[in-house]
């Protein structure tokens, strides 16, 4: 059995020789002491010592050299003590035990020392709450409640924790005083009647009696299996079983009686339901299965108002509008409060305001809105007052570098000949181009009139009738006239016929077409049905207009600079202030809804109830369980004794002279390991068990 040690960084350094190792763990102590000759000292604080494959080992916290006997003693926490030095606070757990262990070890930050088995422990934690406990006491208590024990084994650089079912050895074997020496203590009259009393924060007093039978089994203390409210508890002594001198009673005074809020399912409609339903509750279950209780609310019902309510102007915000919305359940109606209508009011100022020079932009001027006005009504529009800006213009003697892109930032001098002069912004030049379409535009059906066709090879046929004049003179005169009329056309041919249909005399037909360079574009016209014509490739054109800078002219253009900005000169009865106020919107029929609240249906309704006795009963039960767990056995075994028992296993013992027998869980182990190569090759291991008892 090698005792291995590490350095401060927990790197393995070797095996210790010639030592005495005392370990104690379980219900108390959870520490160790390691003694060696001082000249063999190899350890420092924070070093680990352990025996592979066992629960024996720990972390060095203290070092005590003693020159009187030439010894050095190292003390520290066993692995149980390391866990005992951690705290679990306000934690609820459930599930497979080893999975729960992994969560707890990670939560307390102990995974640098401990790892948890991946095996299924076959122990299910059906809900357990930690209030504020040491991790060791809390975890071992949780496992014992569900039939388990906590195993510690040093394995491959860490302490492997695992939950296993505890073993009840009392049914198959027991310690016998004729074979093994032990010390046994049997309590025949433990506390079997506990009275708990106290007052709440308001001074109201509470008291309850809790009894057990002779075997420590707690008797019925409520009329329901799961009491929810004060009225569910039995407050008299009707459940007392043990009397006379065998009755051992104890009183517990609670400084401040706590209260637990519970929710009780109602099976009968309460008398105040119709007007007090908001003080009752409904059960809610979230996506993770967590339950909660929420105060009931009335059901909102909306009814359409057919005529304008008398209180509309004052209480319009208590009415609602409705619109359709889509959600995961389908189409629903959403109701929204009617918002106020914001109205701007303008007040004419009779005298110059004191802040005019600095806040003139907060004032307005008025003019008639020609577009909105009519013969019977004049509508005004208001505009914010603008500053009066004085500019200075500097003549440009050379072309600016940004002229081609920012020509509109420059100005030219203009005089109208009447004495009025000004500087005007430079206008752009523009060019128009047409690009042939190679694919049908997406808006052709509705926007075809914004596209173009070209007037190429379009013939113009013109007639001339010679009547009685010379045919040649007549023809020449007609052609000359046509040439003037169609000066952009070129003559194609002249056709002479002797007779024209319906004509008395013969005529000449002269055909013209557009000359090259005189191409014109016409907007697309609708077909005979008034719709877009059929689109054809390379027949239609899209029009593009491009703006560009005019040609630069030296000593023509100016740069403008702001010389000063100031408030305009005040004019009486010209300027207005604006104020905003909310008012009722204009009433519209069949648009607004009135909201009313009705009581919800009476289905799965809960009432909140108060339980002042839950905590008091818990204290009484703890007192009885403590009293009946004082029976204890102390027994010493060496490592040749056979089975090595774990904390939490149940064992029994019988003393034949008195006939006393006990069966209790193991609550503590004390181990002494002695290694001395001078006298023995193997280490000597002595184990003392404490069975039952309280710390």
Question: What is the distance, to the nearest Å, from the Cα of residue 101 to the centroid of all Cα atoms in its chain?
Answer: 28
The most distant pair of C-alpha atoms in the chain lies apart, rounded to whole Å, by 170
How far, in Å, CA of 147 to CA of 168, rounded? Answer: 10
When pLDDT is averaged across residues 683-694 and rounded to a whole number, the result is 78
**CA gap 543, 523 in Å, rounded:** 10
Residue positions counted in the chain:
695
Mean pLDDT of 391-411: 93
In angstroms, rounded to a whole number, what is the distance separating the alpha carbons of residues 205 and 198? 6
Name the burial class of residue 605, with classes exposed (0-12), middle (13-18) and buried (19+) by CB atoms within 10 angstroms of its CB. buried
Please state, in angstroms and rounded to a whole number, the distance separating the CA atoms of residues 229 and 612.
8
Residue 481 φ then ψ, to 5°:
-65, -40
CA 416, chain centre distance (Å): 70
Q: Pick from 303, 306, 301: which is nearest to 588 by CA?
A: 306
Q: Model's pTM, two decimal places?
A: 0.50
Instruction: Return the pLDDT at 501.
Output: 46
Contact 522, 452 (CB under 8 A): yes
> What is the pLDDT at residue 562?
92
Are the beta carbons of 421 and 508 closer than 8 angstroms?
Answer: no
Q: Which tens digit of pLDDT belongs to each residue from 547-559?
A: 999 999 989 999 9
% of the chain with per-residue pLDDT over 70: 86
- Tokens 């926007």 belong to 447
Report the half-sphere exposure of 112 (CA within 13 A, side-chain side): 7
Residue pair 661/635 in contact (Cβ under 8 Å)? The answer is no
Spatial contact of 396 and 557, defined as CB atoms under 8 Å apart: yes
Element (H, E) at 435: strand 429-436
Nearby residues of 56 by Cβ (< 8 Å), 6 or more positions away: 21, 23, 50, 78, 154, 671, 673
Q: What one-character-per-residue DSSP string does 467-517 give? A: TTS-HHHHHHHHHHHHHHHTTTEEEEEEEEES--TT-SS-EEEEEEEEPTT
| CB 12 within 8 Å of CB 48 | no
Of residues 632 and 109, more confidently modeled: 109
Enumerate helices (H) and strands (E) in the chain, giving the number of each: 10, 44
For residue 584, what pLDDT is reported? 93
For residues 462 and 486, give the distance between their C-alpha atoms in angstroms, rounded to a whole number: 11
Residue matched to tokens 């007549």: 474
Alpha helices in 117-255 (DSSP H): 135-145
Q: Report how far residue 671's alpha carbon sits from residue 144's, in angstroms, rounded to the nearest whole number.
A: 23
Tell me how far apart the alpha carbons of residues 311 and 155 are, in angstroms, rounded to a whole number.
82
Distances (CA, A) of 691 to 397, 588, 655: 112, 87, 15
Q: Is the pLDDT of residue 409 over 80?
A: yes
Two tokens, residue 34: 């390691």
460: pLDDT strictly greater than 50: no
101, 163 Cβ separation under 8 angstroms: yes
Task: Answer yes or no: are the C-beta atoms of 23 and 687 closer than 8 Å.
Answer: no
Q: Which pairing describes strands 114-116 and 158-165: parallel, antiparallel, or unpaired?
A: parallel
Q: What is the pLDDT of residue 504?
A: 46
More confident residue, 456 or 670: 670
- Say what the pLDDT of residue 28 is: 87
Beta bridge partners of 382: 366
Give every strand in the sheet of 114-116, ordered side by side: 114-116, 158-165, 148-155
Q: What CA–CA distance (Å, rounded) separates 659 from 59? A: 44
- What mean pLDDT, rounded, does the chain reach? 87
Q: In what order do the strands lie in the sheet with 380-384?
A: 341-348, 576-583, 363-368, 380-384
Q: Within a 13 Å sphere around the CA of 419, how many CA atoms are in the beta-carbon half? A: 0
3-state secondary structure of 20: strand
**pLDDT at position 666:** 84
Convert the pLDDT of each residue in 580-620 to its tens digit. Answer: 999 999 999 999 999 999 999 999 999 999 999 999 999 99
DSSP tag of 440: -
What is the radius of gyration, based on Cα positions, of the chain?
A: 53
Which residues in 373-383 are b (16+ Cβ under 10 Å) and which e? eeeeeeeeeee
- The β-bridge partners of 687 are 637, 671
Would you state the structure tokens that stand for residue 220, as one six-digit string? 């019925």
CA angle (391 as vertex; 387, 396 as ends), nearest 5 = 150
According to the model, what pLDDT value does residue 471 have?
58
Q: What is the pLDDT of residues 181-240, one digit of tens each?
A: 677 788 889 999 999 999 998 999 999 999 999 989 999 999 999 999 999 999 999 999
* Beta-strand relationship, 660-675 and 684-692: antiparallel
């Amino acid at each position: 059995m090698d005792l291995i040690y590490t350095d401060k960084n927990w790197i393995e350094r070797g095996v210790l020789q010639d030592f005495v190792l005392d370990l104690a763990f379980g219900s108390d102590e959870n520490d160790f002491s390691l003694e060696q000759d001082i000249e063999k000292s190899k350890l420092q604080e924070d070093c680990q010592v352990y025996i592979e494959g066992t629960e024996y080992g720990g972390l060095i916290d203290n070092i005590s050299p003693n020159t009187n006997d030439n010894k050095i003693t190292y003390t520290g926490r066993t692995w149980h003590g390391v866990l005992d030095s951690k705290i679990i606070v306000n934690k609820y757990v459930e599930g497979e035990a080893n999975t729960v262990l992994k969560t707890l070890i990670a939560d307390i930050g102990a995974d640098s020392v401990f790892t948890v088995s991946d095996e299924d422990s076959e122990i299910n934690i059906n809900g357990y709450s930690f209030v504020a406990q040491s991790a060791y006491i809390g975890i071992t208590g949780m496992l014992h409640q569900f039939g388990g024990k906590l195993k510690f084994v040093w394995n491959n650089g860490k302490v492997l924790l695992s939950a296993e079912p505890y073993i009840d050895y009392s049914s198959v074997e027991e310690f016998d005083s004729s074979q093994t020496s032990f010390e046994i203590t049997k309590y025949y009259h433990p506390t079997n009647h506990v009275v708990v009393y106290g007052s709440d924060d308001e001074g109201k007093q509470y008291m309850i009696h809790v009894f057990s039978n002779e075997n420590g089994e707690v008797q019925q203390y409520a009329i329901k299996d799961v009491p929810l409210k004060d009225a569910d508890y039995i407050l008299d002594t009707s459940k007392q079983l043990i009397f006379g001198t065998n009755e051992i009673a104890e009183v517990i005074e609670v400084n401040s009686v706590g209260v637990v809020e519970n929710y009780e399912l109602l099976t009968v409609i309460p008398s105040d339901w119709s007007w007090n339903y908001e003080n009752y509750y409904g059960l809610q279950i979230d996506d993770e299965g967590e339950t909660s209780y929420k105060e009931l609310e009335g059901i909102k019902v909306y009814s359409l108002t057919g005529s304008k309510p008398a209180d509309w102007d004052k209480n319009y915000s208590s009415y609602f509008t409705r619109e359709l919305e889509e959600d995961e359940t389908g189409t629903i109606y959403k109701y929204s409060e009617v918002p106020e209508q914001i109205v701007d009011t303008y007040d004419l100022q009779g005298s110059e305001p004191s802040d005019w020079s600095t806040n003139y932009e907060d004032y307005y001027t008025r003019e008639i809105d020609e577009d909105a006005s009519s013969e019977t009504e004049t509508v005004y529009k208001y505009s914010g007052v603008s500053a009066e800006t004085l500019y200075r213009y500097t003549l440009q003697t050379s072309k600016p570098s940004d002229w081609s892109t920012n020509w509109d930032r420059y100005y030219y001098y203009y005089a109208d000949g009447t004495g009025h002069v000004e500087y005007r912004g430079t206008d752009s030049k523009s060019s128009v181009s047409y690009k042939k379409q190679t694919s049908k535009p997406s808006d052709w059906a509705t926007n075809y009139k914004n596209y173009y066709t070209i007037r190429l090879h379009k013939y113009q046929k013109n007639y001339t009738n010679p009547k009685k004049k010379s045919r040649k003179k007549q023809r020449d005169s007609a052609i000359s006239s046509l040439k003037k009329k169609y000066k952009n056309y070129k003559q194609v041919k002249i056709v002479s016929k002797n007779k024209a249909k319906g004509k008395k005399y013969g005529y000449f037909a002269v055909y013209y077409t557009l000359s090259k360079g005189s191409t014109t574009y016409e907007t697309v016209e609708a077909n005979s049905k008034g719709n877009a014509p059929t689109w054809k490739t390379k027949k239609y054109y899209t029009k593009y207009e491009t703006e560009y800078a005019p040609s630069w002219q030296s000593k023509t253009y100016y740069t403008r600079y702001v010389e000063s900005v100031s408030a305009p000169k005040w004019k009486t009865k010209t300027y207005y202030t604006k104020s905003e106020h909310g008012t009722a919107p204009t009433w519209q029929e069949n648009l607004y809804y009135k909201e009313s609240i009705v009581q919800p249906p009476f289905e799965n309704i809960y009432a909140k109830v108060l339980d002042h006795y839950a905590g008091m009963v818990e204290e009484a039960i703890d007192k009885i369980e403590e009293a009946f767990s004082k029976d204890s056995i102390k027994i010493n075994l060496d490592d040749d004794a056979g089975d090595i028992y774990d904390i939490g296993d149940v064992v029994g013992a019988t003393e034949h002279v008195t006939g006393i027998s006990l069966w209790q869980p193991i609550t503590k182990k004390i181990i002494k390991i002695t290694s001395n190569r001078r006298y023995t090759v193997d280490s000597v291991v002595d184990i003392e068990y404490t069975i039952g008892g309280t710390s």
